[in-house]
Structure formats: structure tokens, C-alpha cells
A = this chain, B = another copy of it.
Amino acid sequence: MNGTAEVTVLRLGHRPGRDERMTTHVGLTARALGADRVCFPDNAGQSKATVSDITNRFGGPFDVELTDSPQAMLRNWAGKVVHLTMYGERVQDVEAEIRAAHQDDGEPLLVVVGAEKVPFDVYEQANWNVGVTNQPHSEVAGLAVFLDRLFEGQELEREWEDADRQVIPMATGKRVESIDEE
């Protein structure tokens, strides 16, 4: 997000068909809640297209990429790695430390979100394995709460560039305004 070190979300594992919507929702959640970029496995082209389309219409900057080697990306990341898992340390116990690394030390963060069973070396490569609760629920929910806490709500104030439309908050009803190109 504007003014902070890069935050990239890496989706590990994608089963075409079965995971399409979950992977898409991981990408859209990353965008809406302050990440700069999402990387999907290279068989998730359909999810990439959906997230790119939303970015084109509702604004950015936000990058969507495919990678043929998520493991290499993880190994070579020049920054800190957070792996979201129900087996990890409690988010409320480690979030201050992660925030300090990101905001104070300017470390780029790679936030890893698994789909199917995550290989054990991911647990070892992560600087933090973090549980948004130690209960089974949803990788999308875990990512959302993690990002909201990482950015301490500042992501909700983000402004969007190059949007062609904008939703105007309303107590009742729907209002979408077109944004004219200058």
C-alpha cells in the first residue's frame, strides 16, 4: 500500500475448477485490503483474469501475476515471510512484531496462503507461522483479518487510481459513479 514496504500475497496450490472461486477471492481480498500484489500458481489463469478485470474497473495499483514456481519465490524472497495456518502462533501474539518488521524496518512481506496440504518446508521457511484462530475456517477470512490488523485499518482509507467507476457509500441502496477520464 502507498507509503509502506511491499506486501505480496502468495497463493500456494490451486486445483482448477474446484479452487477457482477461493483463489479469486484470495486475490480480490488481497487487493481490497491493502496488499500490493498477488501471485497465483500458473494453472490459475482464470482467477488472474477475474482479479485483473476488477482492478481495471475499480482501480489500483494492484498487480496480479502467475508463477510457475511458488517455492522458488518463497526461497528467494528478499524480506520476511508470513505463513497463515491454523497451526501457527496466535495472530494477537505476533502481529506487533510483524508490524514492526514491515513498518519500522521496511521489510517487504510475503504472505503465504495455502489451499491443499502445505508442504512442511513452507513452515520452516516462514519467519512467522500465524494462526488467525487455531480453528479450521477459511483462508480468505484469515487473510482478511491478518491484513486489517497488519495495516491497523489504514487500508480502509486507501484511495484508488485509474478506476473507471466508484461505489459511493450509502445508508440504503446502491450508488455507483462513473469516473471520466481527463
What is the interface of chain A, defined by CB distance below 8 A to chain B? 21-22, 25, 28-29, 31-33, 54, 58, 86-93, 120, 123-124, 126, 128-129, 131-138, 140-145, 148-149, 153, 155-157, 160, 166-176
Contact = CB atoms under 8 A, between A and B. Distances in A.
A25 B169 contact: no
30 contacts: A25-B137, A25-B138, A25-B141, A28-B136, A28-B138, A28-B141, A29-B141, A31-B135, A32-B135, A32-B136, A33-B141, A54-B135, A58-B135, A87-B167, A87-B174, A87-B175, A87-B176, A89-B171, A123-B172, A128-B171, A129-B170, A138-B140, A140-B140, A140-B141, A141-B143, A142-B144, A144-B144, A145-B145, A145-B148, A148-B149
Given A58-B136, A87-B175, A167-B87, A92 B28 contact: no
B129 A32 contact: no
A104 to B, nearest CB: 21
B169 A88 contact: yes
Given A148-B145, A167-B131, A169-B134, A25 B140 contact: yes
Nearest to A30: B137
Contacts of A134: 166-169
Contacts of A176: 87
Contacts of A149: 148
Number of copies of chain A assembled together: 2
Contacts of A25: 22, 137-138, 140-141
